[in-house]
């Protein structure tokens, strides 16, 4: 079956000058454990009412879903583990991406949060672009904080922008443009940013760039070696040997020896819109390595080759839930250098939507055989046994955690009850080799997936966040609410790292 392309963005003429909004700090209320989003330790709502309700600068042809959020990422300050910053897309647009980028800042370990608008990413925040997406955030070892997102307008440009905060996310610089292309010529999509965990001077941004007339794709890298003051000219670090193949979900981790490993899913999706490429090939989860700080990179190593999962609402088994496994996740054990990668695919369960896992003990050169890691009871294709949107992390004590959503609690309830789960293993090599069972725990839910913002189906985003602080795993995830004027929010939960 032909895979679904990303929607083509056609935006019309430019709008008037931006209405810049001053961010307001509001503490988010805690949600009691056992409630609509209750987990074993309770959850906290990070987001809420949109700060862009008064903005008219970006109104255009497509619909805006006010007070909806997708794709949060979360970082922990290495100098103060109670200081957390998450980032997300605010006010989802029907043709993709959102009206702005918002950060949530907590200085009490996630009990309360203050929302901060990142300036300059869109017209609603004082910039020139119509929309922005794919936000990511990373702390440097000195406490400096970096945020990246893609921003674009039509007609106009497709850009990757990086902002910096030196006060822990309370205020932000105007973003630096690390690349900007005429959007009719090239499309820059899904960036991530990684601050070197031991060298505050080094920062790495990575993304996919598609030259639209030729349908050529490159994985692009921009480096800063002076703490974000300047950025080197972006360079291509990978191009597929299979024509018309894009990479998406690029993410760099730094190994204990300083080597860089970049993970991605390679596929023929026409990122940026049609035309569809001529091939219909299996997806590949792959990594490339650099042992010289990003100057040169190894050939790609394939972790898994598979067909993409395509989740469905289980009550009819046909209505799409557009959360396919196109964004892999990677985590590194900070002591041993062991690597862990997760993704979603259709070949590991009868349900045709399961979580794949593989590990490497030699810096990404070789990998264990892919295996199903979620413990969702299986089902027929499109049924309650579907699991999707995995994330992976390794705590300081070596415990590995994988989170995912599934539909197992969709029995006779109205709507489509959906829950967030976690499996953990702390047996080191035995976990990697599949010789030790993983323990599952419930993190959050149930919530009704059918209430989510629409993007060819109910949409939570392509990823969310899983990280750790001493003794805890921390997650910033998206769930729906019962409020028609605030369909979904970013929530925070933590659970012991054992």
pLDDT at 42: 66
Cβ(129)–Cβ(172) under 8 Å? no
- CA–CA separation, 35 vs 481, rounded Å? 11
Bridge-partner residues for 270, per DSSP?
none
pLDDT at 18: 32
- CA–CA separation, 382 vs 405, rounded Å? 14
Q: CA nearest 322: which of 344, 303, 350? A: 344
Q: Token pair of 26, please?
A: 């509001």
- Per-residue pLDDT of 40-87, as tens digits, reads 346 999 999 999 999 999 877 789 999 999 999 999 999 999 999 999
**CATH (domain of 211):** 2.120.10.10
Count of domains forming the chain: 1
- Per-residue pLDDT of 122-164, as tens digits, reads 999 999 999 999 999 999 999 999 999 999 998 899 999 999 9
Residue 33 forms part of a structural domain: no
- Region of poorest pLDDT, from 218-227, 283-292, 429-438: 429-438
Mean pLDDT for the stretch of residues 251-270? 94
- CA–CA separation, 197 vs 191, rounded Å? 19
- CA–CA separation, 293 vs 54, rounded Å? 45
Confidence of residue 107 (pLDDT cuts 50, 70, 90): very high
Average confidence score pLDDT of the chain: 90
Residue 73 forms part of a structural domain: yes
- Per-residue pLDDT of 182-235, as tens digits, reads 999 999 999 999 999 999 999 999 999 999 999 999 999 999 999 999 999 999
Confidence of residue 243 (pLDDT cuts 50, 70, 90): confident
Confidence of residue 436 (pLDDT cuts 50, 70, 90): confident
Domain housing 60: 39-496
Residue 245 forms part of a structural domain: yes
What percent of the chain lies above the pLDDT cut of 90? 81
pLDDT at 304 over 60: yes
pLDDT at 375 over 50: yes
Residue 24 forms part of a structural domain: no
pLDDT at 58: 86
Residue 57 forms part of a structural domain: yes
- Per-residue pLDDT of 172-183, as tens digits, reads 999 999 999 999
What percent of the chain lies above the pLDDT cut of 70? 92
pLDDT at 4 over 70: no
Residue 405 forms part of a structural domain: yes
Residue 447 forms part of a structural domain: yes
pLDDT at 31: 34
Cβ(403)–Cβ(391) under 8 Å? yes
Residue 146 forms part of a structural domain: yes
Residues 286-296 as b/e (b if ≥16 CB within 10 A, e otherwise) read bbbbbeebbee
Confidence of residue 360 (pLDDT cuts 50, 70, 90): very high
């Amino acid at each position: 079956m032909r895979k679904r392309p990303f929607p083509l963005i056609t935006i019309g003429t430019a709008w008037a000058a931006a209405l810049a909004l001053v961010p307001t700090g509001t503490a988010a209320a805690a949600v009691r454990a056992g409630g609509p989003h209750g987990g074993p330790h309770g959850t906290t709502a990070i987001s809420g009412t949109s700060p862009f309700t008064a903005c008219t600068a970006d109104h255009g042809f497509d619909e805006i879903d006010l007070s909806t959020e997708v794709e949060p990422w979360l970082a922990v300050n290495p100098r103060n583990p109670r200081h957390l910053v998450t980032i997300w897309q605010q006010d989802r647009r029907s043709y993709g991406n959102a009206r702005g980028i918002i950060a949530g800042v907590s200085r009490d370990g996630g009990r309360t949060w203050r929302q901060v608008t990142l300036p300059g990413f869109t017209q609603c925040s004082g910039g020139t672009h119509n929309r922005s997406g794919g936000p990511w955030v990373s702390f440097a070892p000195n406490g400096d904080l970096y945020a990246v997102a893609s921003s674009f307008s039509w007609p106009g440009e497709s850009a990757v922008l990086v902002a910096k905060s030196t006060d822990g996310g309370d205020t932000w610089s105007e973003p630096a443009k690390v690349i900007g292309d005429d959007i009719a010529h090239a499309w820059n999509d899904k960036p991530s940013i990684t601050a070197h965990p031991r060298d505050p001077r080094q920062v790495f941004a990575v993304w996919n760039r598609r030259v639209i007339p030729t349908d050529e794709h490159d994985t692009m890298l921009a480096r800063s070696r002076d703490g974000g003051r300047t950025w080197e000219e972006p360079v291509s670090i990978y191009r597929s040997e299979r024509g018309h193949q894009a990479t998406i979900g690029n993410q760099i981790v730094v190994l204990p020896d300083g080597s860089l490993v970049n993970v991605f899913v390679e596929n023929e999706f026409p990122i940026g819109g049609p035309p569809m490429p001529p091939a219909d090939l299996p997806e590949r989860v792959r990594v490339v390595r650099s042992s010289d700080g990003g100057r040169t990179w190894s050939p790609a190593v394939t972790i898994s080759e598979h067909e993409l999962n395509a989740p469905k609402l289980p009550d009819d088994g046909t209505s799409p839930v557009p959360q396919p496994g196109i964004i892999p996740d990677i985590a590194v054990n900070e002591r041993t250098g062991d690597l862990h990668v997760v993704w979603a695919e259709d070949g590991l369960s009868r349900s045709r939507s399961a979580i794949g896992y593989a590990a490497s003990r030699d810096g990404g050169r070789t990998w264990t055989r892919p295996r199903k890691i979620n413990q969702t009871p299986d089902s027929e294709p499109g049924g309650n046994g579907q699991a999707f949107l995995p994330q992976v992390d390794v705590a300081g004590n070596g415990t590995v955690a994988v989170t995912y959503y599934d539909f197992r609690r969709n029995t006779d309830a109205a709507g489509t009850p959906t829950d967030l789960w976690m499996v953990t293993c702390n047996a080191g090599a035995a976990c990697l080799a599949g010789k030790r069972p993983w323990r599952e725990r419930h993190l959050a839910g149930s919530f009704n997936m059918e209430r989510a913002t629409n993007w060819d189906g109910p949409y939570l985003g392509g990823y969310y966040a899983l990280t750790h602080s001493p003794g805890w795993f921390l997650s910033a995830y998206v769930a729906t609410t019962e409020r028609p004027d605030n369909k979904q929010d970013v929530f925070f939960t933590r659970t012991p790292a054992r």
